């Protein structure tokens, strides 16, 4: 398999129906999964042999961005596959769609599904459609971060036939808190079995990256007077009313912190050193602040968020403003070596995915630079601690500590 790396070939040999192909961002999970699909349908690469005439049709469920940017279409080319059956090896039908539309394919049978980017967590509509699809089709799942807790693995365990349903899993492994207002797992038991089951379906892609990431924390100022007054009085200075929820308080505190001029100054200083730069942000007011800056003559500013889907500029000097939720995954850029995190996201998974946008196997850079803009405000420090512990920041739990 000349166009696969050694670690990708090793992964293909270990893969089986119902497995999770686990590799870091930029490890080539898409290409590896397609190689597995071709081999499972009678094809080979050394020597080359096309797939059998009755090869299973291929369905790829991915993110909306990957679908819209035609990223998977590019991955199909080396395998002589195409969405047009007349141009595709063995004339297989290939469908590429987003997770939002997974329900459209729940009645498909005798096909091969690649589920890209782990989305089968919980018990919502996506999980129900996923479980129905897996009963009648071959499938694999691709993920850089397959699960934080055992609860995250329940749908995949059920799809593999390890458990009949969620109730059986809870009965055999979960102890729930007696004093919680909602079902909350206090601890797990019979963990040895869970570890064996997880190891039986996880296929890790172990490889040494050619790049060296350099993460630097840059501390900036914030308006301490407004911040302390807001914490003490719980009063929204923009709406002129008291805060009703923890989310409202945290949003306002972060607005005070993230809107400080020193954050913009630090960003502009970094741009002087790195004339091609990706900036990740959380909120619309941050976007407006970043767009209001003058970056210099000939500098192009583009955006990817819920409002605009602009491509990465092609000029010599540019700034690409990306909102975490809209653009933390599903695309890549090998035109720059720099990412600035203008503010921190609550989820370490999102932060990790965002960092992977420039850490690709085919990048020409060997040193990659990540700048994390932070303040020493209590909310920033709490978010930083949660990320360091690979946890998601809990607004309610944090704000309750400061109730007067």
The answer to whether the CB of 59 falls within 8 A of the CB of 101 is no
Q: What is the CATH number of the domain that holds 65?
A: 3.40.50.10810
Q: What is the CATH number of the domain that holds 305?
A: 3.40.50.300
Residue 143 and residue 275 in one domain: no
Residue 316 and residue 369 in one domain: yes
* C-alpha torsion sign, points 76, 362, 287, 299: negative
Residue 247 and residue 121 in one domain: no
Residue 221 and residue 104 in one domain: no
Residue 254 and residue 186 in one domain: no
Residue ranges making up the domain that contains 290: 212-400
Residue 25 and residue 83 in one domain: yes
Residue 194 and residue 115 in one domain: yes
Residue 36 and residue 145 in one domain: yes
Residue 27 and residue 145 in one domain: yes
Residue 287 lies inside a defined structural domain of this protein: yes
pTM exceeding 0.85: no
CA geometry: angle 83, 31, 130, nearest 5 deg:
70
Residue 108 lies inside a defined structural domain of this protein: yes
Token pair listed for 42 = 């009678």
Residue 180 lies inside a defined structural domain of this protein: yes
Residue 162 and residue 259 in one domain: no
Residue 308 lies inside a defined structural domain of this protein: yes
Residue 223 lies inside a defined structural domain of this protein: yes
The answer to whether the CB of 327 falls within 8 A of the CB of 306 is no
Domain boundary among 204, 236, 265: 204
Q: Which residues of the chain have pLDDT under 70?
A: 1-2, 118, 403-404
Residue 345 and residue 256 in one domain: yes
Residue 158 lies inside a defined structural domain of this protein: yes
CA geometry: angle 14, 329, 28, nearest 5 deg:
30
* Closest of 398, 375, 383 to residue 259, by C-alpha: 375
* C-alpha torsion sign, points 238, 244, 246, 248: negative
Residue 1 lies inside a defined structural domain of this protein: no
Residue 178 lies inside a defined structural domain of this protein: yes
Domain boundary among 159, 177, 204: 204
Domain boundary among 183, 204, 225: 204
Res 178: pLDDT = 84
When divided into structural domains, the chain yields a total of 2
Residue 196 and residue 217 in one domain: no
């Amino acid at each position: 398999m000349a166009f696969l790396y050694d670690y990708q070939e090793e992964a293909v040999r270990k893969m089986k129906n119902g497995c999770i192909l686990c590799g870091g961002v930029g490890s080539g999970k898409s290409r590896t999964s397609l190689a597995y699909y071709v081999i499972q349908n009678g094809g080979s690469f050394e020597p080359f042999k096309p797939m059998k005439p009755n090869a299973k049709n291929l369905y790829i469920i991915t993110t909306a961005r990957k679908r819209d940017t035609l990223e998977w279409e590019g991955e199909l080319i080396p395998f002589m596959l195409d969405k047009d059956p007349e141009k595709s090896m063995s004339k297989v039908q290939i469908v590429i769609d987003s997770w939002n539309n997974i329900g459209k394919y729940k009645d498909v049978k005798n096909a091969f599904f690649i589920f890209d980017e782990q989305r089968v967590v919980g018990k919502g509509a996506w999980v129900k459609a996923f479980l129905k699809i897996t009963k009648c089709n071959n499938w694999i799942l691709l993920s850089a971060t397959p699960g934080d807790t055992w609860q995250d693995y329940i749908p995949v365990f059920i799809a593999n036939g390890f458990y009949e349903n969620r109730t059986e899993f809870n009965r055999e492994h979960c102890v729930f808190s007696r004093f919680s207002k909602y079902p909350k797992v206090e601890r797990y038991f019979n963990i040895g079995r869970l570890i064996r089951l997880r190891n039986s379906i996880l296929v890790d892609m172990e490889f040494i990256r050619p790049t060296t990431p350099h993460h630097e924390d840059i501390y900036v100022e914030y308006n301490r007077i407004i911040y302390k007054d807001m914490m003490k009085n719980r009063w929204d200075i923009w709406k002129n009313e008291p805060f009703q929820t923890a989310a409202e308080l945290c949003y306002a505190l972060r607005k005070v912190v993230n809107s400080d001029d020193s954050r913009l100054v630090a960003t502009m200083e970094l741009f002087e050193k790195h004339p091609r730069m990706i900036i990740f942000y959380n909120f619309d007011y941050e976007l407006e602040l970043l767009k209001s800056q003058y970056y210099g003559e000939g500098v192009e500013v583009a955006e990817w968020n819920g409002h605009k889907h602009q491509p990465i500029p092609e000029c010599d000097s540019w700034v690409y403003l990306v909102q975490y939720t809209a653009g933390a995954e599903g695309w890549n850029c090998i035109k720059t070596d720099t990412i600035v995190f203008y503010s921190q996201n609550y989820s370490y998974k999102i932060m990790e995915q965002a960092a992977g946008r420039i850490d690709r196997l085919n990048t020409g850079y060997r040193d990659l630079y990540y700048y994390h803009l932070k303040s020493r405000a209590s909310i920033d420090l709490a978010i930083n601690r949660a990320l360091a512990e690979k946890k998601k920041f809990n607004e309610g739990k944090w704000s309750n500590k400061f109730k007067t």
